[in-house]
Structure 1
Amino acid sequence: MSRTSVYRWHKRFQDGREEMRDDERCGRERDVRTPELVEKIYNFLDEDRRVSIQTISTQFGVGVATVHRILHEDLNMCKICAKFVPRVLSDEQKERRVGDSREMVELITSNPSALGSLVTCDESWIYCYDPETKRQSSQWKHFDSSRLKKARQTKSTGKLMMIPFFDSKGIIYIHWVPSGQTVNKEYYVEVLRGFRKRFRRNRPELFKSGRWHLQHDNAPVHNSILVTNFLTEMGVKTLKENLRDSRFEDAEEMKGAVTRVLDTFTLEDYEGAFKKWLERYNKCIEVGGS
């Protein structure tokens, strides 16, 4: 305490003061996080979930920092953006997803080797130039160093579609769709014919056993009657980061780069991809198929 404060308090006690507490002063109280205010803000948010913190601060006459503490500490709330999904599923579709997931969980749990009998495929666009994402370009820096600047770039118009087929042991077959070709049901059947020939050659024991399943998504092309009939005749039961910021002059250079990236994947990488299916099935069951 300073000498001036000591003299001031000494004079106050000489004048008859007996308390050490400060006198009441006008202005806002220090602690305004009262249960009443918390309830008012909660009711206010119930009316409009998109209201800003600044609006709440102005509405109730409290500081922005106080509103932050009430929202995060007292109400345990945070503001997030809506999650965008390809489509909102109906109740019937959710029930089907849950049923299929439970069936697969039971199959894998009762027979862990079942994952080795699954073959999957998917379509993926490979661009002649695919710029880095914002997260990929992030790097550590000192607080006093300048922030890295990078010109905004877009994907190139040149691209090819790749349809890879693989199991827990690695790549089985890669089909490159010619530029300008539409992947319709007739073309997809021809892709499956090529996969069948390569699968019979690369996985002869599994192919002869007939105890393998092909998993592909529910795209209209995959669910067409023509494709379904072809798979039935075959006796099949249906159940890009490394290339970003690279430029390719032509399709052959692009294919070579993809092959080199796939060669870097280990057996554990492929096995891990299929093991994560079990996690996704359990997650689907937990969220009710959403």
Structure 2
Amino acid sequence: MKIVYGETCVDVSTVRRWSKELAGTSPTETDLHDKARCGRPNTVNDIPHQERVDEIVQANRRIKVREISEMLGISTGSAQFIIHDVLGYRKLCARWVPHMLSPEMKLNRSRVSQELLAQYTDEGEAFLRRIVTGDETWVHHYDPENKKQSKEYRHIGSPCPKKFKVVPSAKKVLMTVFWDCEGLVHIDFLKQGSTVNSDRYIETLRKLRARLTRVRPRQRPSAHESANSRCHEKSPILRNLTTPIIQSRPCSI
């Protein structure tokens, strides 16, 4: 062996000593891997540290692992192990919602939904076919096309088409649109310099009624106010309309 391995080979005395120690021993004692042992006692992942981390997280749900490790004087790995593996916490992003509804708004939504469901139970699909929904939106005089709309067919290796970056025009007009289950019914634009008030909204409803008599002569429509038309709810003329009004739910769009 010395001829083959040279100086890296152990000497004869070492081989004899190993042979004498291993002679007569069981196969399990000849394992060359490290044996299991208790090691250094764990002084971090204990009940006091777990309770303290739980208190810190409940006090500040956005706290960082690094801040917890600095407060308790432990490593970030130990703090993360306690948070995720021991306490079972997960850090989740906030979910975007259109509106933060108050308890009164939620109660009103529930009440209106129950009324609509009861009316649908009584009349069936005929009730849905009679609903005319209206809403308002701002329409810009010019809306630039998006990147998907500007796609062009090109050969491989051809340069990409270029376009100037433009923004929607500053000038815009308020559009009031009404539709039902069959499609668009009426569109009304606000004249320049005018404001949306009860009188203007009543005039729009009169135009809508005249339009309905022409395009839906056999139906008895039910007007549906949008959630952003609060200034029209106090109008006495709306309360005296022969067409039934469906109460809108706040922030339902």
Q: Which band: TM-score by shorter chain?
A: 0.5 to 0.7
Distance in 2 (alpha carbons) for counterparts of 1:181 and 1:112: 39
Identity %: 24
Q: What is the number of residues matched between the two proteins?
A: 211
2:232 equivalent to 1:222: yes
Distance in 2 (alpha carbons) for counterparts of 1:128 and 1:34: 66
The counterpart of 2:76, out of the listed 59, 62, 69, is 62
The counterpart of 1:236, out of the listed 235, 238, 243, is 243
2:106 equivalent to 1:94: yes
The Cα offsets for residues 45-91 of structure 1, whole Å up to 9 and x where unpaired, read as 10111213443455442339x838954996253332375655642x3
Look up the equivalent residue of 2:222 and give its one-letter code.
Answer: H
Look up the equivalent residue of 1:195 and give its one-letter code.
Answer: L
Look up the equivalent residue of 2:209 and give its one-letter code.
Answer: R
Distance in 2 (alpha carbons) for counterparts of 1:177 and 1:155: 19
Runs (5+) with no aligned partner, structure 2: 1-8, 23-28, 151-162
Asked if the contact 2:50/2:82 (under 8 Å) is kept, the reply is no
The Cα offsets for residues 203-246 of structure 1, whole Å up to 9 and x where unpaired, read as 00003xxxx31111343222122xxx33344301111xxxxxxx
Look up the equivalent residue of 1:63 and give its one-letter code.
Answer: G
The counterpart of 1:77, out of the listed 90, 110, 127, is 90
Asked if the contact 2:65/2:76 (under 8 Å) is kept, the reply is no
TM-score (norm 2): 0.63
CA deviation after TM superposition for structure 1 residue 34, in Å: 7.8
Q: What root-mean-square deviation, in Å, do the aligned CA atoms of Structure 1 and Structure 2 show? A: 4.6
Counterparts in 2 of 1:255-270, with a 5 A limit? none
Asked if the contact 2:54/2:87 (under 8 Å) is kept, the reply is no
Look up the equivalent residue of 1:220 and give its one-letter code.
Answer: R
Asked if the contact 2:136/2:174 (under 8 Å) is kept, the reply is yes
CA deviation after TM superposition for structure 1 residue 169, in Å: 0.7
Look up the equivalent residue of 1:62 and give its one-letter code.
Answer: T
The Cα offsets for residues 111-161 of structure 1, whole Å up to 9 and x where unpaired, read as 233211111100011123446899x99xxxxxxxxxxxx998654311111
Distance in 1 (alpha carbons) for counterparts of 2:85 and 2:145: 34
Runs (5+) with no aligned partner, structure 1: 1-6, 138-149, 240-280
Q: Tell me the secondary structure at the aligned position of residue 100 of structure 1.
A: helix
The Cα offsets for residues 178-225 of structure 1, whole Å up to 9 and x where unpaired, read as 233211111111111111110111100003xxxx31111343222122
Aligned to 1:105: 117
Distance in 2 (alpha carbons) for counterparts of 1:109 and 1:58: 62
Asked if the contact 2:133/2:226 (under 8 Å) is kept, the reply is no
Q: Tell me the secondary structure at the aligned position of residue 50 of structure 1.
A: coil
Asked if the contact 1:122/1:165 (under 8 Å) is kept, the reply is yes
Look up the equivalent residue of 2:232 and give its one-letter code.
Answer: H
Q: Tell me the secondary structure at the aligned position of residue 125 of structure 1.
A: strand
Aligned to 2:25: none
Distance in 2 (alpha carbons) for counterparts of 1:55 and 1:42: 14
Asked if the contact 2:137/2:176 (under 8 Å) is kept, the reply is yes
Asked if the contact 1:118/1:168 (under 8 Å) is kept, the reply is yes
Asked if the contact 1:118/1:167 (under 8 Å) is kept, the reply is yes
Q: In the superposition, relative to structure 1, how do residues 171 and 86 fare at CA in structure 2: closer, same or farther (>3 Å)?
A: same
The counterpart of 2:197, out of the listed 161, 173, 184, is 184
Aligned to 1:198: 211
Give the number of the structure with larger relative contact order, counting CA–CA contacts within 8 Å between residues 6 or more apart: 1
| Bigger mean CA deviation after superposition, 91-100 or 192-201 | 91-100
Return the index of the structure with the highest Cα Rg. 2
